[in-house]
Amino acid sequence: MLGKVSLEEAFALPRMREQTERWASLFAVDGHKHAREVTDIAEIRTRYMDEYGVGYQILSYTAPGVQDIYDPEEAHAFAREINDYAAEQTKGKEDRFGCFATLSMHDPTEAAAELERCVLELGFKGALVNDTQRSGRDGDDMIFYDGPEWDVFWETCTKLDVPFYLHPRNPTGTMFEKLWKDRKWLIGPPLSFAQGVGLSMLGMVTNGVFGRHPNLQIIIGHLGEHIPPDLWRIDHWFEDIKKPLGMAAQCKKTIRDYFAQNIWITTSGNFSSPLLQLCMTEVSADRILFSIDYPFEQFEDACTWFDNVELNKIDKLKIGRENAKKLFKLGKYKDSEAQLKR
Ligand code: GRE
């Protein structure tokens, strides 16, 4: 399929090469290739996009990024540097690339102001943030975004009418020590990422964020971070047990309502046909967006899978590009109107 849109696509600052190589050594079999690809914005990437029919990508800073920086001032300065770099590097390439804002999440008002700068001045399409902000003097604390102090930030997202991509980060501090250190192969895509995002996502649902911000749009990757297959059980426990026990005060609608009205899922890094079918049944093709997770995953794997997966034409177009066009109010980009062959 030509003209696909993908939106969980990472880059790194060239000056962070050492950190990038270290990260690559944990998550890439060919670390040098990964480092080269993640540090590139538009050369290697555009070649892949052309080869595999991706018309438009929304770029975001590679994890854990700013969410790993527990000094608030340093975090904010790093976020601004990344945003200015992304804007400069994609200038003149607006028909192929958009950007998600990178934000320091130490302070809700400051995060809101930087998001506003990115959207209004730099033309960014929303924000991508990792599930918690590392914080505290020794970096052992973490900030969740589901409390009332974050209302000012979520108000800004809805006022600007841009989505927020909730992306995973690796466990750190005591959490790492207690849960993951002795089970290190489960860190990342096998388990810890889905647990981290699931906790934050369902925390937002049950702490009433969508009740207070009914138009807020949150995107999660990896075909829903293990939530869609569990929707029946979550719904049953929310409605039949947790609400009678008091949860109803801040969580008025059902989990299925929030998935229909506030939550989007992408195919990033999860190219499973049976799971896609399940997500279409449980969540609907109207809330699913194609994505790759480059360069942690390969264009070839994502695009060959999606181009060949058995879907009717309407759903393939929705997931491959039409939902993204609407959500991000995209104008014309390469192959944005191309006919679907099969
Ligand atoms: C990511 O998207 O940030 C990521 C990692 C490590 C492994 C896989 C992955 O940081 O998708």
Mention every residue, 6+ apart, whose C-beta is less than 8 A from residue 192: 168, 170, 171, 180, 186
Can you tell me which residue has the tokens 């229909």? 260
| Band (297; pLDDT cuts 50, 70, 90) | very high
100 within some domain: yes
Region for residue 257 given its phi and psi (left: phi exceeds 0; alpha: psi -120 to 50; beta: otherwise): alpha
Q: Say yes or no: CB of residue 296 within 6 Å of ligand 1.
A: yes
Q: What CATH number does the domain containing 256 carry?
A: 3.20.20.140
Is the beta carbon of 31 within 6 A of some atom in ligand 1?
no
Q: How far apart are CA 126 and CA 160, in angstroms?
A: 9
- Expressed in angstroms and rounded, the spacing between residue 251 Cα and the centre of ligand 1 is 31
Task: Decide whether any atom of ligand 1 lies within 6 Å of the 293 Cβ.
Answer: yes
Two structure tokens written together for 178: 């207690």
Residue 294 Cβ inside 6 Å of ligand 1? The answer reads no
Task: Please tell me the predicted confidence (pLDDT) of residue 342.
Answer: 63
Beta pairing partners, 165 = 128, 219
Q: At what angle do helices 299-308 and 44-52 cross, to 10 degrees?
A: 20
Residue type, 122: L
Q: Residue of the nearest CA to atom 6 in ligand 1?
A: 27
Altogether, the residues listed in the chain come to a count of 342
Residue of the nearest CA to atom 9 in ligand 1? 296
Q: What angle do CA 60, 3, 12 make, to 5 degrees?
A: 20
- Choose among 125, 155, 127, 254: nearest CA to 202: 254
Q: Residue 262 sits in which domain range?
A: 4-328
Give the C-alpha separation, 20 to 38, whole Å: 8
pLDDT of res. 270 = 98
Active site residues: 251
Show the CA angle centred on residue 226, arms to residues 132 and 321, nearest 5°: 90
Residue 280 is assigned to a structural domain of this protein: yes
Atom 3, ligand 1: which residue's CA is nearest? 63
How is residue 309 annotated by DSSP? S
C-alpha torsion sign, points 294, 296, 300, 304: negative
Residue 339 lies in a domain: no
342 lies in some domain: no
Please give the pLDDT value at position 117.
98
> Looking at residues 49-57, what average pLDDT do you find?
98
pLDDT digits (tens, 9 = 90+) for 84-124: 999 999 999 999 999 999 999 999 999 999 999 999 999 99
Q: Is residue 102 part of a domain?
A: yes
CA 79 – CA 40 distance, rounded (Å): 18
Say if ligand 1 is within 6 A of residue 131 CB.
no
CB distance 269 to ligand 1 below 6 Å: yes
Q: From the CA of 296, how far away is ligand 1's center (Å)? A: 6
104 assigned to some structural domain:
yes
Instruction: Round the average pLDDT of the chain to a whole number and report it.
Output: 97
For residue 274 the two structure tokens come to 């049976």
Judged against a pLDDT cut of 90, whether residue 341 lies above it is answered with no
Identify any residues that bridge with 10 across adjacent strands, giving them in sequence order.
60
* Average pLDDT rounded to a whole number, residues 254-279: 98
Q: Whose CA is nearest to atom 11 of ligand 1?
A: 296
Query: Which of 186, 193, 222, 271 has the most ligand 1 atoms within 8 A of CB, as the residue to mutate?
Result: 193
Establish if 320 belongs to a structural domain.
yes
Place of tokens 């070649």: 47
- Give the chain's domain count: 1
Residue 62 tokens read as 């590679």
Q: How far is the CA of 63 from the centre of ligand 1 (A)?
A: 7
Tokens of 208: 């009433």
Query: What is the per-residue pLDDT for 161?
Result: 98
**What type of residue is 20?**
T
Interacting residues of 54 by C-beta distance below 8 A, sequence separation 6+: 4, 5, 6, 48, 292, 299, 303
Does the pLDDT at position 172 exceed 70? yes
Residue 333 domain-assigned (yes or no): no
